[in-house]
Amino acid sequence: MSSMSDKAVKEFKSLSVAFIVAMTIRWLLFEAYVIPSGSMLPSLLINDHIFVNKFVYGIRVPFTKKYIVEFNDPQRGEVIIFRYPENESIFFVKRLIGVPGDKIEYKDGELFVNGEQVPQEPAKDSWDYDLVTEAALQADKDMFHHYKETLGDHSYSTLVNKIYSPTGAGPLTVPENSYFVMGDNRNNSRDSRFWMYLPKENIIGRASMVWLTCEEKLSFIPFLCDPTTIRWSRMGYFIK
């Protein structure tokens, strides 16, 4: 009886340690999220499972927005995860376009930062775009311009509808401790063009890598990927 009790205690201690380690990693280093919509097409696809680097910007007091120490400020061009300002129980993923003090304008599908147009050219390397299915776009691919945009140290793909001009913004100046974000799918993203500025304190971390991705989820377990629809070539894709 005593040996069984000792074994149960040891198992409980092992599970407790594993739980503490997992929670520490989630609080301090990385957390997993699933992309639910097409607002970041073609850079991120629906049902992409991504890791988010929470350590890159600093260390927070657990379960709060307050930093213990800050390492780096978010930079233009990074893909970030954050609490949606209009409902903080929801997490959004967007690309960071403007930092505090930046003057931002978006008109006729062209982006301007501090009076200069962000370089934009037709995308030549379209392997990521080819993974975007018609079901994901809910339209024929031929209806979209596929551009390569370069902002800061980041080059990435964007989609712009050929017929309908995407919602514009500005000119406006990003206030202190705030950011301006946009989705790469410029015609289908609810972002700073609609709800204005993202408070710095709402940022969770930087999107780093796709560790699992699939076309469809299991109908009877909707949070799990259907293994027959996994996008194998996209596994381990580092987010630009």
Is 141 an annotated catalytic residue? no
Is 39 an annotated catalytic residue? yes
d(CA 160, CA 129) in angstroms, rounded, equals 13
What is the number of other CB atoms lying within 10 angstroms of the CB of residue 115?
8
Closest CA to 84 of 240, 189, 212: 189
Characterise 117 by phi-psi region: left (phi > 0), alpha (psi -120 to 50), beta (else). Answer: beta
Is cis: bond before 222, omega within 30 of 0? no
- Residue pair 202/91 in contact by the 8 Å Cβ criterion: no
Closest CA to 154 of 97, 197, 211, 73: 97
Closest CA to 33 of 94, 96, 97, 98: 94
Which of the residues 2, 54, 65, 94 is marked catalytic?
Answer: 94
Question: For residue 140, what are the contacts with CB-CB under 8 A and spacing of at least 6?
Answer: 134
Half-sphere exposure of 76 (CA within 13 A, CB side): 20
Which of the residues 3, 14, 16, 39 is marked catalytic?
Answer: 39
Catalytic residue list? 39, 94
